[in-house]
Amino acid sequence: MSGLKNQLNLCSLNDIDDVLLNINRLSLEFLIVEDSLELLLDMITRKKRNLHHLSISNNNHIKFHAALIKLLESQQCLKTLEIPALWTSENLSSFLKIFHKISHSLISLKISNSIKCVTLFSLLDILHNLRKFESLSLHFHNDDDFLNSPIPSSKIYKLEVLIFTEPVLLHPHIANYRLVFERIKAMSNIIVPEIYSRHN
C-alpha cells in the first residue's frame, strides 16, 4: 500500500478480509493523511497478526503513532522490519517489550532515522536472531561509558551486517563509532568497514 496509485480506501472494500488474509508483506507510506487510515490500521492490527515483512514510512503523521505501535504489538512472526524510531525516552522500556515479542523471528531491522548508541545495544541484546541492522546514524551521550567496559565472554550476537547510512568519516564521534564496531565484532561475525579500522 504505497505510492499514489495505491492510495485506496481499503476499508470500503467488501473483500478486505481476503486481501489481508493473502498478504505477508506490508509497506505503509502515509502520503495522504486521512481519517480512514486509522480505521485501516486498526483493521490490520485485529485481522493480520502474522506479517513476515513490515515497512513503515518515515513520513507518517504523528496522529497515527499510537495506532502504529498497536500494529507492531500485534505482530507475532515478523522477519524483517523497517520503521522510524517511534519511541521516546519516556516510553522506550515499554517499546522494547515489542521487540522481545518478535525476537524469535526478526532477522533484519532498519531504523530509518538516528538512534541512541545505548538503544542499539539494548536491541541487539533482545533480538538474539538478528542478522542485519541498519540505521541512519548513532547519537552518543553520557550513558555510553559501557563502550569502554570489558566485553562479557558469554555474550554472542548472530549479527552479520551492521550499516549506518549517514557519512561518518568526518563525524566528531568517529572514535565512538569505531568502539561500537569493535565491541560488536568481538561478539559477532560482522565485517568491520575500513573507515572504522584503527589504522585510519
Tens digit of pLDDT per residue, the chain (200 long)? 444 444 444 545 556 667 777 789 988 877 655 667 788 888 889 888 999 999 998 665 677 888 899 999 999 999 999 999 988 888 899 899 999 999 999 999 999 999 999 999 999 999 999 999 999 999 998 888 899 999 888 899 999 999 999 887 667 788 899 999 999 999 999 988 887 776 54
Q: In terms of domains, do 196 and 133 share one?
A: yes
Does residue 83 form part of some domain? no
Same domain as 59, residue 118: no
In a domain, 85, yes or no: no
Q: Which residue bears the cell 538478528? A: 130
Q: Which triple of cell numbers denotes residue 142? A: 553520557
φ/ψ of 27, rounded to 5, equals -120, 120
Whether 9 and 72 map to the same domain: the answer is yes
- Asked if residue 147 is part of any domain, the answer here is yes
Quick check: 117 and 145 in contact, CB under 8 A?
Answer: no
Q: Are residues 49 and 127 in the same domain?
A: no
Alpha helices (runs of H) in 22-146, residue ranges in sequence order: 35-47, 65-74, 92-101, 117-126
Distances, alpha carbon 110 to alpha carbons 46, 100, 107, 197, in Å: 24, 16, 10, 24
Range of the domain at 185: 107-200
At 155 the three-state DSSP class reads coil
Same domain for 70 and 15: yes
For the chain, what is the domain count?
2
Predicted pLDDT of residue 35: 67
